[in-house]
A and B are shown apart, each in its own frame.
Chain A
Amino acid sequence: MSDVDNKHYWKVPADRDGGESYRLKVINEFPEELDLKGESDGINRRSFLKATGFAFAGAVVAQMTGCSRPPEQKIIPFLEQPEEIIPGREYWYASTCHGCSAGCGILTRNLDGRPVKLEGNPHHPLSKGGLCAVGQASILPLYDSHRLRIPMMGGNEAKWEQVDQAIVSRLAEVRQNGGAVRFLSSTVNSPTLRRSIREFLAGFPGSRHIQYDALSSSAIQSAHQATHGARILPHYRFDRARMIVSFDADFLGTWISPVEFTRDYTDSRSLKSTPPVMSLHVQVESRMSLTGSSADRRHVVTPRECDDWVALLASKIARLAGQTLAAPALDPQSDALIDELANQLWHHRGQSLIVCGSNRTATQVHINRINHLLGNEGQTVDLAAPSRQRQGDDAELETLRKEIAAGKVSALFILNANPAYDLPDFAEFAQQVQQIPLVVSFADRLDETASLAHFVCPDHHYLESWHDQEPVAGLISITQPSINPLHQTRAVVESLALWRGKPADAYTLMQQTWKEDLLKRQNTHSQFQTFWDQALQMGFAQVQPESPAAKSFNGPAVAAAASTQPSVPSGKLALVLYPTIGMLDGRNAHNAWLHELPDPVTKVTWDNYASFSPATAASLGITEGDVVRLADDQVKIELPAHLQPGQNDQVVAVALGYGRKGTDRFAFVGPQWLESKPTVEPGHLVGRNAASFLTRQDNQTLYSNRSVQVERTGARHALASTQLHHSIDVPANLASPDERRRPIVEETTLAALAKDPHAGANHHELFPSLWAPDQKYPGHKWGMSIDMNACTGCSACVVACQIENNVPVVGKDEIARQREMHWIRIDRYYTSEGYDTDVAHQPMLCQHCENATCETVCPVLATVHSSEGINQQVYNRCVGTRYCANNCAYKVRRFNWFNYAHEDQMQNMVLNPEVTVRSRGVMEKCSFCIQRISNAKARAKEDGRPLADGDVKTACQQSCPAQAIVFGDLNDPNSQVSQMRANGRSYRVLEELKVEPSIGYLRIVRNRPQQLEESHV
């Protein structure tokens, strides 16, 4: 189709405009220049290498004379063989992720007594087999050598007996004096933990448990309190929605339960029926979120306009339903758009879903009204079995703050919360908390809040302990320990039980809760043991939901409140604070994998930054990396600037969750060499904490309520962004006349696809093949298919691959040198301009070409073709010429510039023992998870059966919440991957080169009428 042919994809604004600096950056694949100065004086790098080279050669010759054996190694077997444990064999345990409060089901892969990998549990009703980047990376803190190993008392390490004795005696004093005890935590949806806290607090009359979430969904619950008479968070069912409208809710990235929502969302857009159908997704937002990047229609508004849109939409829907509702007046253009939206929604009554990320109760009341009038309650909005994934109540936190300020709190327990970091007035909180006579924290390290506590009683990592969660009412998800506690930590429930004088272990306490509270909520099992065993095997149990009953919608009781959002004064920009998919509220600040993970949209690593739209940046004279000062009359912050296409011109967006205490530990992450720069400057932290820009209004935490003045400081802070690294396309306006356009991304519209399954195909001239088609694949022929329409860009695959394949963390400086090591990257392309910017996400990994260009140029045959179609990389044969990387059309090869392996024995326990840890000087790249293929073959052989389709799942495929990646045998016409390759949407990137890649991509389909598509071009 000609219109698609002319579509223009680009990565940064300079790319679109064809700047010379950009051209140099793209063309110059290896940016570092050879430094030849200083050749004649002193020892420089080259002469040093020459000299050591000779010495090394001598040492090798000496080795060969056989004068030495390799160092002696020990084999230490068990004393008592545990039943059913076979050394070297992997074991899987069903468990539940604690990366956030979404409660996704996981399977932990145990090897030699320790968990080494987490995967999604395919049977889990919520996550259905996917696991996000945060969940994947949540295994790293288990082996973090910076974790607290023993409890702390008054800032010093102490023994548990001392701590317990001191706490018990202090609590006795509190009880005697009738002091107030407060338990502050983030969302606790664990039946066992809730019961433990309740029982513990029962010993102190008037005590309370307060929950708050740094990423709050409190307003949704408050709105339901107002409209439905029950403080609940609905369980949103995206799989049942034919039309989804999201107002600033990043539900595919960070909002409430992203893995579950992603799976449900892609299920509603699968295009599997004939004619193909997919849900219509409209996103109204002020910045470019991950969710917005997948939307069929995006409307770019300021935060205030977003609220007004919701109010106006509510009034228009009310009119369609024959009611009247006052609404703000908007400009005619927006009014027309909202009119269209209202009509479309009315058409999809009962099959639509409106979600909103705002934390303003008034706005959420409007959302409830819209969902009610559209008949979505009971359909896409489940109120009978509501979500418990966010329980935080901002009003309760406010009350607690007042009590603390008035000195009324005698003892404060803090669990999984970091108020001294994430509250808007964290410094004031830190001051106040020091007045409390007894502060106990359960943190796993001395974070901002724990360092203020009198006692720190570190909790286990979740993989070390028994735990349960009730993410959605009636679904109890179980966590079982997959390793003995590594340090002298103790489960919170055990600590609480001990302090109330009834010591018991977590296992007993959990079974007690299940016996007494949960067994009676189901009638499948009459015996506790079968109930328990089944839950343990599956990883979850389903019981009757128990929640405050939602009354029917009572709209008239709630007056339609006007927006309280201040409008942005001229000369200022509205500040939008948002979480990133890696850091969330800052809980992952000690996770190097997540710092190194490029943000799915901006592609920046190891920093937070102030995002401006390119037009705003131009008018302010700001370029990428300029340090800007954002200030209002109370607070200011200095951050590097980032230019973000598709963002509102009156908005500056800043990520929360950065600037955490202790992140200076990453100063020297990655290789240290003559010219290396620290990832974090001495005395600094990774990013800056923007929490002081949060506001609290009407008992709600607001994330976009401030306007800030922006000015350049004149300083520069280079951002390590991967968006231009490993570029495989030449932008049209940069290509010389004889250079051919390379169609990398292909897309079409739903309307076009209904007419032609091959719609959107690029018909390009195929080059003559340089290779004879003589390669035989007698057994398997491995291949992959990636559905770009399903891919949301969430980057779970990137982290999953990193863990599975022992991919090192290299640090910010190395990334700036284009030396990131990820085997799979997600190329993010923009197309169209301004507010109409569309985004395409394309996972890019080794294509395992049949006629691989890398194989042709390797002088030592270190990369050759296997009989099963895999492009093999042999580390021990590689001499590091890098010819292969140079000749790779897809730029997927990564070179080990250094020995990245480190000496941290504790952290090295996370390494996959089945994958070689590469050493300096060798090339590496995606192996199609060859170790998994080997394992699957071995198990099939052991069982005496042929390998079945689906026996081998690559790490990226397994973790993908959207099920966008399918791997399998192309020789088997019935395999899922063969079926996907036969789909009309399937194409191969750079097919015209005749390298015959083994990975097919399915075209993106945008749910748009055809003419809209054409108007974009």
Chain B
Amino acid sequence: MNRPIILVVLLVAMGFGLWAAVAPLSAVRLPGDNQLYEPQQPIAYSHRLHAGELGINCLYCHGAAEHSRRAGVPAASTCMNCHKYVTSTLDAKRAEDDLSQKENRSPRRIVSSELAKLYDAMGLDEHMNVDPKRKQHPIEWTRIHHLPSFVSFDHSRHVNAGVTCQTCHGPIETMERVRQIPDLTMGWCVNCHRDVNANGVNGKPVQASTDCISCHQ
């Protein structure tokens, strides 16, 4: 056996071990556990405003959740259903209206900086028409809720059983920027399955399988 190499490898391993011991215990997280992950998104989209204040149904944007394994992130065209007309906050619009009245001119078009990114992705000109000179590019959102590849989760099964979005996604309607609330570990999933088997979902009896292959396919 080549002793020196083994020794070096062992020392490195011990170094890692020491570092682990010194690190605060509260920060210990299982690998893959993404709890409280709250990344910056390409557009500062607010669930608090849309789902909370405006009360738009989750399924308006994430309609696939009823029919598919995935909930899906809405296409930019879905945003445009409203934002073809709504280009800024109401306050900004009113302020411009007031200002234009004061300055005795017709109000200018106000576009919020975040919505400008949406229009840019769609390649729109100021009249909301597709500008062939501009390059369209899809919006690359950062994934927050991420399960390992050996886990299969089906949104439609849960939504159709009456499980609310908040059960797994937390109080999403209060979040300015989405963060992951539960740890989404296997223990967390299984506990919920056991709980609803005993108590049902909102009083409705359900059969939530605790077979391994329900999730590990």
Binding site for B on A (CB under 8 A): 39-43, 47, 50-52, 54-55, 57-67, 69-70, 72-81, 86-89, 779, 864, 866-868, 870, 872, 874-877, 914-917, 927, 930-931, 934, 937-938, 941-942
Contacts and interface: CB of A to CB of B under 8 A. Distances in A.
B213 A61 contact: no
B72 A916 contact: no
A87 B64 contact: yes
- 6 pairs of A and B residues whose beta carbons are closest in the complex: A58-B16, A88-B70, A58-B13, A81-B75, A88-B68, A78-B75
A927 B211 CA distance: 13
B209 A867 contact: yes
B34 A941 contact: no
Given A75-B141, A88-B69, A916 B149 contact: yes
Contacts of A86: 63-64, 67-68, 72
B172 interface: no
B145 to A, nearest CB: 10
Given A65-B23, A77-B138, A914 B75 contact: no
6 contacts: A61-B16, A64-B28, A73-B146, A76-B140, A866-B209, A867-B209
Question: For chain A, what secondary structure do more than half of its interface residues adopt (helix, strand, loop), or is it mixed?
Answer: loop
User: Which among A47, A63, A87 has the highest number of chain B CB atoms within 10 Å?
Assistant: A87
A70 B32 contact: yes
A62 B2 contact: no
Contacts of A39: 1
User: Which among B136, B155, B212, B216 has the highest number of chain A CB atoms within 10 Å?
Assistant: B212
A864 B32 contact: no
B143 A73 contact: yes
Interface in B77-119: 77-78
A75 B64 CA distance: 15
Contacts of B9: 51-52, 54-55
Contacts of A867: 209, 211
Contact of B16 (A59, A81, A868): A59
A927 B34 contact: no
B141 A87 contact: no
Contacts of A66: 23, 27-29
Nearest to A863: B212
A186 to B, nearest CB: 41
Contact of A58 (B12, B138, B157): B12
Nearest to A868: B211
A39 B74 CA distance: 59
B152 A54 contact: no
Question: For chain B, what secondary structure do more than half of its interface residues adopt (helix, strand, loop), or is it mixed?
Answer: loop
Contact of A876 (B136, B155, B216): B216
Contacts of A915: 217
B146 A70 contact: yes
Nearest to A941: B160
Contacts of B154: 934, 938
Contacts of B60: none
A89 B67 contact: yes
Contacts of A941: 156-157, 160-161
Nearest to A928: B213
Given A80-B75, A915-B217, A65 B70 contact: no
B210 to A, nearest CB: 8
B30 interface: yes
Interface residues of B, number: 67
B1 to A, nearest CB: 5
A50 B77 contact: no
Nearest to B37: A69
Interface in B13-63: 13-17, 19-20, 23, 27-32, 34, 37, 39, 63
A813 B1 CA distance: 29
Given A64-B29, A88-B68, A75 B2 contact: no
A89 B138 contact: no
A77 B20 contact: no
B209 A64 contact: no
Contacts of B202: none
A40 B64 CA distance: 61
Nearest to A42: B2
Contacts of B212: 864, 866, 872, 874, 877
A835 B74 CA distance: 67
B10 A54 contact: yes
A930 B217 contact: yes
Nearest to A875: B150
Given A79-B122, A914-B69, 10 more contacts: A50-B6, A61-B16, A65-B19, A66-B27, A70-B34, A77-B73, A77-B138, A78-B138, A79-B121, A942-B160
B75 A79 contact: yes
Contacts of A63: 31
A52 to B, nearest CB: 7
Contact of B138 (A40, A47, A76, A876): A76
Contacts of B121: 79
Interface string B124-145: 0000000000001111111100
Contact of B136 (A47, A79, A874): A79
B78 A81 contact: yes
Interface in B148-173: 148-150, 152, 154-157, 160-161
A166 B76 CA distance: 43
A74 B72 contact: no
Contact of B75 (A77, A864, A874): A77
Given A62-B16, A65-B19, A66-B29, A40 B1 contact: yes
Contacts of B148: 876
A72 B39 contact: yes
A88 B72 contact: yes
A86 B78 CA distance: 13
B115 to A, nearest CB: 15
Given A69-B37, A779-B207, A872-B211, A77 B141 contact: yes
A77 B31 contact: no
B64 A874 contact: no
B52 to A, nearest CB: 22
A47 B72 CA distance: 48
A300 B132 CA distance: 72
User: Which among A58, A67, A74, A81 has the highest number of chain B CB atoms within 10 Å?
Assistant: A58
A81 B157 CA distance: 23
User: Which among A40, A80, A877 has the highest number of chain B CB atoms within 10 Å?
Assistant: A80
A507 B194 CA distance: 54
Contact of B6 (A51, A70, A74, A89): A51
Contacts of B161: 941
Given A58-B13, A916-B217, A87 B70 contact: yes
A870 B77 contact: no
A930 B215 CA distance: 10
A876 B216 CA distance: 8
A927 B217 CA distance: 8
Contact of A43 (B2, B17, B37, B64): B2
A942 B156 contact: yes
Contacts of A47: 1-2, 6
Contacts of B78: 81
B140 A930 contact: no
Nearest to B209: A867
Contacts of A931: 152, 217
A87 B73 CA distance: 9
A74 B70 CA distance: 15
